[in-house]
Amino acid sequence: MAKDAKKSAKSSQQSAPTPVVGGATAGLTPEQTKSRESKLSKMIVRSVFGTAMMVSFGGIIWLGHIYIIIMLAWIQVGLFRELVNVRNKRKEDRIGRVPLFRTIQWLMFFVAMYYMYFKVFLTLGLEQSILKQLPEALSWRLAKFVDYHTLIVFVGYVFVFVALVLSLRPGLYKFQIQTFTWTIAVLCLIVYQVKGATVLIFEGLFWFILPCALVIFNDIAAYFCGMSFGKKFVSFPLTQLSPNKTWEGFIGAAFFTVVFGWYFSDFISNSTWTVCRQHEVMAWPSPLECEIDDVFVKQVVHFPYEDLSLFTVFAKPVQVHAVALACFASVIAPMGGLLASAIKRAYDLKDFDVLIPGHGGFMDRMDCQFLMLLCTYVHYRTFMKKHDFTADQLLGIIRTLQVPSQDYILRNLADGLNRTLAS
């Protein structure tokens, strides 16, 4: 018995790594020890700043819709800066020979942003909410400004186009055309692709929070699954574009993201703040009230659908939609990250910026988000949205018509209503 105890103690001492001279750990080389400590340090830094970002995001969600729009616009500014700098930093000698080089790039960005946001506000009828809150004299002037929105965008576009052509210099034509093409591609990625996200914010915060949370969770799950199990079952990387991504991280994250999407969608759909549409622009948050859509109410859900029901569950239909979105977030949305990796490899970059410790820049965090938000917008338009306009928006449009047109609509509505009541 005593001998066995001594043997056991001796074997445990041999198996437990102990510090030795040189900063290494028994059984490991100094390089392996340093690598282990580096991994732990990275995980701690990444976790701390990731938590800080999520808390900040939650605070902005609490503040309300208009503040989320401001946050989104601010992120777009950061993304544009990072992406145009990818090329600009390597071409400083040529840029100095082109007049108004950066000014023209930023003017292109602001014209695109003005067009996109103003168009969304007009589509949702939010400009009427803003005008109602202003003094009458100012409201009247801004109403005229709204009437000439398309003309203002066109004038801005023409001004930028003419400035671009006049800035062309002999010997730099190829460089300038390549830069112009790159800027257009960046605008498509970070401005026009985000138009749907702006609509989702006012159509119900649920449809904005859910896709963002799915991508964030998938990224976290992939990181920790990869760190814990990476290359233990499959030795080759997921893709050559990003050798650090592993199959274990990809598959593990997909599983956990689907589970997370099922329960998280149920949790956030319990509040009217997330499921109700917002048709007013308000400086301070106030409770929202609305008739809860059936998709947010627990009921018997048939799989795969009612006519071919293999099994049923008692849940909210929106949880099924969340699972579909979670699958996209796990399989397709990471392609945005691979595109970002390809850009970084093409320009020999580790990160797009050093703004966020452990995370890089805006593009390093948002590379998957915009594709995910676009998918959610298409999903919402296809399966959720029943009408393009609310009753209030239709009334607002009707008020802008001439009196004979309003009278024509009124008579037709009255006739249709009478026939409906008679039947």
Query: Within a domain: residue 165?
Result: yes
Q: Would you say residue 21 has pLDDT above 50?
A: no
Query: Within a domain: residue 150?
Result: yes
| Domains held by the chain: number | 1
CA distance 182 to 346: 14
Q: Which domain holds residue 159?
A: 89-190
pLDDT for position 76: 94
- Digit-coded pLDDT (tens) for 30-70: 555 555 556 677 778 777 887 888 888 888 888 888 899 99
Query: Within a domain: residue 139?
Result: yes
Q: Would you say residue 105 has pLDDT above 80?
A: yes
Are the beta carbons of 86 and 179 closer than 8 angstroms?
no
327-350 burial by CB neighbour count: b if 16+ within 10 A, else e? bbbbeebbebbbebbebbeeeebe
Query: Within a domain: residue 25?
Result: no
Query: Within a domain: residue 101?
Result: yes
CA distance 402 to 399: 8
pLDDT for position 250: 87
- Digit-coded pLDDT (tens) for 204-251: 999 999 999 999 999 889 888 887 776 677 777 777 777 778 888 888
Query: Within a domain: residue 319?
Result: no
Extract the tokens encoding 220: 């976290």
Query: Within a domain: residue 18?
Result: no
- Digit-coded pLDDT (tens) for 163-188: 999 999 999 999 999 999 999 999 99
Query: Within a domain: residue 147?
Result: yes
Q: Would you say residue 145 has pLDDT above 80?
A: no
